[in-house]
Structure 1
């Protein structure tokens, strides 16, 4: 027997994200049983077979062992309470839970993303668990998003990219909403790669607006709020939008800031030309009202399938933590991350 640290092994296994199911059955006397399980997988398409496993110490193990049928209820993203309920030992698991009845009267939990009604074919011992093999005899899928689980946390799964169907949608608003989901889902990995706090911004009615922060292990500040509107002429995020937005879209805000004297027009025009030339913007060693410290920030553009700028991705950190040079590792990694995200959104060639 290997002397594994079981907690560490559990953490390693937790990096493999899964869906969340509640498997239900009914015994010979009509009593209903259910248990939360993420050890569920497809086995074969012809014939249609699935598997799941259960601890032999589970109080419902005798019922599942002796039953001939089970239903795999694939939980939807709003059913965390259902998952928690059926993960605990209780004689009242089904109390207040909306159900219907499937083949052989096995309960089906309403509101799920999908469910499969199965006939049990085989049982195989596996350590302190038993693996059940079932043949799918009936199934149903809904439009609800599935619940996901990994690293000990519930999650919601979003698409890695928009896919051809989304790219061809006539409704640009729907496509943009999907783009926001894809971009926000990418931020944790980007922050981990850069080892600094990153933010995602859109161009809104009042200018560059942060819609998502992803702090690093040592965040630039504990005061990270979404909805913050940045200056267009002074922030790296604003400069990037000013450089790549369609002509005229930012003129009113730019004119207002320049008239207020937030920066000199000549200095702004120089920074704008540099941003366009490098494909990166930066703001160095400026005290930030938001963070109350001197920070360095670099920004890179994220383009959508039409080649238009959709977001600005910004990395920020204390001025002594981020090298201010253009060719330093952090801006190079930021540029690569923004290009990858643009590819996920379907961009082939950014618009000029």
Structure 2
């Protein structure tokens, strides 16, 4: 764990002293957009057109933020058009690492050993955390974006004109955007980021505040899902996938490692089946690697788990029947 300061790598954990023991996430710095024709998006500059073979995605199989982009890449049919490099799950004194002799964890584009070298290749004086996902532009040799929430929206529509891409699938439809944004805001604040606020807190009060907000929101989500199959409009949207990548890690990691232990997700009446429902969407299971997820959190975060012992359990049966077919139409069926 560390960060770049004026382009120099430093092995430093998060500084929570200045925030009263609270974990505060740093905002992403690269905020350009890929659009279908290369016109400017909501932030950054234009010039990034949705072209086949032009973009490369750096991810970790362990990271929930990067996981979102892999789900969208799979479901939209972008795998032939956007290539991927996967960092090693252990993020230690050098941050995210590649293993040049390992075809699974190699930087296939820039041949770097560490992800922070990809950052400084385009920003030699970069200061900040080095995170995944990273969307890389082969044509210009630069980072388009390292903001997962924006990358999934690019994947949602910027490549729809390419052969084989599922342009008929829209995870951010115009008519539902206000509702999607409202759900996203609460889920991000208290669930996606909330588990980290609990797990990385260094003061009891900060931990308990995050813990309470997390389970208040999980209760709210469980109740919301009692009468509908998905979170918004009873159709599968980005709100579901943004929640999914946290839920699929909950019982294996966040429950114990981050002390989010009021109850396991498996004991929620509706969230448990909802998680299995999403996991069983064709193409999604292949984006989930529980062993890399556990290995990353328990080995990398030595401040939280000094022994670096990775638990053997829990036993997860994500392929079990989800029982939600009566709640509404399955994804892909009207």
Normalised to the residue count of structure 1, the TM-score between the two structures is: 0.25
Structure with larger Rg: 1
Bigger strand share: 1
